[in-house]
Amino acid sequence: MENDFSFIKELGDKELLDLYDKIVEHIQYLKENIIVISDGGDSSNVSN
Amino acid sequence: MSQIDDFYSMMESDKNYVDNFVLETNEGTKRLKEKFHLNASKERNSYIEKKIIDYNNSLEVIKNEMKLRFSQLMPRNRSLEYEKELDKIDAYINLVKLDLDISSSFKLNISFVLSSIQDDSSLDDLNLALSKFIDLFHQYGISLSIEDFKYTMFTEEYMRSFFSNADQETFKKVFEKIFFTCPDLKMQLKMNLIDIISKYQKKLDQFVSLHKKELYEKYSVNSSDVVSKYISYRGEVGQRIAMDEYYNTKLFLDSKKKIEDYMDSSPIREKNYNLFTPTKYSDLDEVKKKNFNDSIMDFYLTLNELKKYYRYEFIIKDLIERYKNKDSVKNEFLSKRKEIEKEEKTRLSIYKDYLKACGIGLFSHKNLNKMKDCMLKMNDQVKKLNQLYSEFNDIEITYYLSSINNSASIYDLFMISLKSFPFLEKCFLNREDFIDESFPKIIDEFFRFLYNPNNSILREINVFTDYDLVDVIASKYRLLNLNVTNESIQPETIDSTLESLRFINLIQNVENSNTSFSNIFILCRMKDILKNEEES
């Protein structure tokens, strides 16, 4: 992904900050969707 | 579609993929259903975990870019340049002092050494003051010796020990021995120093004159332009520092101010502006906004001046009272001076008698009783002289008030106060609000207050008319369409008004400089992001 990410050089400072915030928000969303799987094979969503 | 849009689309696709990932099946047994869910969960988790790693990598790339941009966006720190300029300002104020009609001992800082000897000074303080006094005279080309310390038999004895570089224990013993016959030794030594200043007055004046000539040549100033040059230089440097992008940005980066409060949309910003406008600031047209901004800057400077004036107002009140008696004091001042001269002669003759009683001189014989008698007489005489000097110092300032008339400004009266060092000493050393600062620092601040480039009311307002300074100022700015009440600039309320004005002043300084609040906002956000990274 790093190679494809060179476009950030062209972004304005504000756009760069917005992109950062959106990625952080997206990572948070992804983390909340990880399903915790117990040793016995039971699973539950992290956000629950 | 731009690359950033592609990137956002990719994030949206991730979200859709995760949201729509099939985790359950209706087919098969309960066990098969559970197995399906477990495998699906593992598969989705694996996708998410990979994505999180990718996005975290992206964040790292962004942070590196931010680091680079932060250092490019951050204004240059000009502290070292300012330090040099501030040193130059300090040098200039000394040039101004050298031109004032004040005593040479004041100009050469000798008076401060005298004032450091107080009733509560310790033996160490006393010896330190004596050393400083001797060193200063040495700097000015005058080598003091024991011959200069024969004000009384006690000062002579003490100073013999001082000049012999006696160790602390010996010193203490000498002090104790003298103290029992002369409990006022500290006072006598202080009066000895006053006597030395008077004895070398001409030499000190010559030194000041020569020193002034050299410095004035070095800085290319003369008596007629030194004040204006100082004021304009200090004003120019002060304004540059107030508008300095680095300092103003640091205020926000170091969390001394909150950037959100200063942004255009901030309710706090709006509230501070509205405080000084008859209607809402946002309702003003562009011309009125410009007028408001000019007036508010002027008002801010005036209130700073007023606030400092409040700090020194007690001097003016005292001098106004003294001015009423200035004519009656003239004769008293001259006769007191003569009386001091006469009593100093008496002191000298007591000293001579003492020397004779010691058996010093032709045909003299040692006479213990006479010696003791002279010592007692000397103590009484110096006490009397001390009292006379104190009375003289008290009327001296009133005497100087004869040089001004009823048209004098507040500034003129402040300038008169500088003519009497003992008056300044009495003014400041007895006040609780100055107790935490050293006397030289207090006087230095007082000088800087008097020569502040923004002082206007002090120079313009007559000190003897029955004026109400607060009313004059409030009326002036009401005429300029500012919402100012007399109550808002009283000694008790001025701080809060100044706080709001300081807020607006910072906005003006930033907006008139090469940076902007948007830039500062970006720097603050980047700093927070990079700081969190360092902490994690």
The confidence score (pLDDT) of residue B1 equals 64
- Sign of the Cα torsion B354, B356, B358, B361 reads positive
What average pLDDT score do residues B118-135 get? 92
The confidence score (pLDDT) of residue A2 equals 43
Mutate to test the interface with A, among B62, B67, B523 (most CBs of A within 10 A): B62
pLDDT in tens, B303-337: 999 999 999 999 999 999 999 988 889 889 999 99
pLDDT in tens, B27-69: 999 999 999 999 999 999 999 999 999 999 999 999 999 999 9
* Least confidently predicted of A35-44, B317-326, B351-360: A35-44
| Residue found by looking up tokens 């001046």 in the block | B305
Residue B440 has pLDDT above 60, yes or no: yes
- What residue spans of B358-405 are helical by DSSP H? 368-400
For chain A, what's the residue count? Answer: 48
In which band, very low, low, confident or very high, does the pLDDT at B404 lie, cut at 50, 70 and 90? Answer: very high
Residue A48 has pLDDT above 70, yes or no: no
Beta-bridged to residue A44, according to DSSP, are: A36
Taking contacts as CB-CB distances below 8 angstroms, the residues of chain A near B7 are 7, 19
- What residue spans of B166-225 are helical by DSSP H? 168-181, 185-199, 201-218
Residue A40 has pLDDT above 80, yes or no: no
Mutate to test the interface with A, among B11, B31, B74 (most CBs of A within 10 A): B11
Residue A44 has pLDDT above 80, yes or no: no
Mean pLDDT of chain B: 93
Q: Distance (Å, rounded) from C-alpha B311 to C-alpha B218? A: 35
Would you call A46 an interface residue with chain B, using a CB distance cutoff of 8 Å? no
Inspect the interface and report whether the beta carbons of A37 and B41 lie closer than 8 Å. yes
In which band, very low, low, confident or very high, does the pLDDT at A5 lie, cut at 50, 70 and 90? Answer: confident
CB count within 10 Å of CB B165 equals 8
pLDDT in tens, B242-269: 999 999 999 999 999 999 999 999 999 9
Chain A, 1 to 30: residues with Cβ < 8 Å from chain B are 1-2, 4-5, 7-11, 13-17, 19-20, 22-24, 26-27, 29-30
The confidence score (pLDDT) of residue A46 equals 54
Mutate to test the interface with B, among A2, A3, A5 (most CBs of B within 10 A): A5
In this prediction the pTM is 0.83
Residue B118 has pLDDT above 50, yes or no: yes
- Give B284-312 as a 3 state SS string: CCHHHHHHHHHHHHHHHHHHHHHHHHHHH
Q: Distance (Å, rounded) from C-alpha B191 to C-alpha B392? A: 14
The confidence score (pLDDT) of residue B446 equals 95
Q: Distance (Å, rounded) from C-alpha A6 to C-alpha B460? A: 64
The confidence score (pLDDT) of residue B366 equals 80
What average pLDDT score do residues A4-32 get? 94
The closest of A45, A47, A30, A36 to B56, measured between CA atoms, is A30
| Residue found by looking up tokens 């969960």 in the block | B41
In which band, very low, low, confident or very high, does the pLDDT at B119 lie, cut at 50, 70 and 90? Answer: confident
Inspect the interface and report whether the beta carbons of B522 and A31 lie closer than 8 Å. no
The confidence score (pLDDT) of residue B278 equals 87
What six digits make up the tokens of B132?
């400083």
Residue A47 has pLDDT above 60, yes or no: no
What average pLDDT score do residues B411-416 get? 95
Cα B207–Cα B411–Cα B497 angle in degrees, nearest 5: 125
pLDDT in tens, B444-491: 999 999 999 888 888 888 898 877 889 999 999 999 999 999 999 999
> Tell me, what DSSP letter sits at residue B453?
T
The confidence score (pLDDT) of residue B169 equals 83
For residue B84, give Cα distances in angstroms to B35, B212, B225: 77, 21, 22
What average pLDDT score do residues B412-440 get? 92
The confidence score (pLDDT) of residue A43 equals 62
- Angle subtended by helix axes B494-511 and B517-535, to nearest 10: 90
Nearest to A35 among B41, B59, B62 (CB): B41
